[in-house]
């Protein structure tokens, strides 16, 4: 197409061959692709308000996840489970700490009586 147009014929006459014309056309295409790439990277697809809102939601979710993990860790370290104090190390009467779990109240009383403590 460039060879058939007046501008193509003019460029061909100035350069002296069709190879020079092809180089000029390919170079012009590369310049246009470079401009297109630059525009795509310079102009955002989303408005800044949407980007800020997405960041806020992401931050809120991360903060909630961290606080949930922290609370879970604190619950684990608090030792509120029934096996947290096996052997009664932190219990004054030497029995099970959580004696309300089914059947353990009898065991707690027996251990207390053996150790000489009142139940």
Residue scoring higher pLDDT (29 or 8): 29
- Least Cα distance to 80 among 61, 62, 98, 106 occurs for 98
**What's the pLDDT score for residue 119?**
47
How many other C-beta atoms are found inside a 10 Å radius of the C-beta of residue 57?
Answer: 10
Q: How many residues does the chain have?
A: 119
Task: Decide: 104 and 88 in contact? Cβ < 8 Å.
Answer: no
- Copy the structure tokens of residue 115: 């150790």
Task: Report how far residue 117's alpha carbon sits from residue 111's, in angstroms, rounded to the nearest whole number.
Answer: 9
**pLDDT tens per residue, range 35-63:** 999 999 898 888 999 999 999 999 999 99
98 contacts: CB under 8 Å, gap ≥ 6: 81, 82, 84, 85, 104
Q: What is the chain's mean pLDDT, rounded? A: 74
The answer, as to whether pTM is greater than 0.75, is no
CA distance 105 to 82: 13
Q: How many Å apart are CA 107 and CA 115, to the nearest integer?
A: 12
pLDDT single digits (tens) 27-39: 999 999 999 999 9
Query: 93-112 pLDDT, tens per residue?
Result: 554 454 455 555 555 555 55
């Amino acid at each position: 197409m460039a060879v058939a147009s007046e501008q193509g014929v003019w460029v061909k006459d100035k350069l002296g061959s069709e190879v020079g014309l092809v180089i000029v056309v390919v170079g012009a295409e590369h310049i246009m692709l470079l401009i297109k790439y630059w525009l795509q990277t310079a102009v955002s697809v989303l408005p800044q308000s949407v980007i800020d809102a997405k960041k806020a939601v992401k931050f809120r979710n991360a903060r909630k996840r961290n606080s949930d993990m922290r609370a879970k860790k604190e619950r684990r370290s608090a030792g509120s489970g029934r096996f947290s104090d096996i052997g009664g190390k932190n219990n004054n009467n030497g029995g099970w700490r959580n004696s309300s779990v089914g059947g353990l109240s009898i065991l707690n009383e027996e251990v207390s009586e053996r150790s000489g403590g009142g139940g």
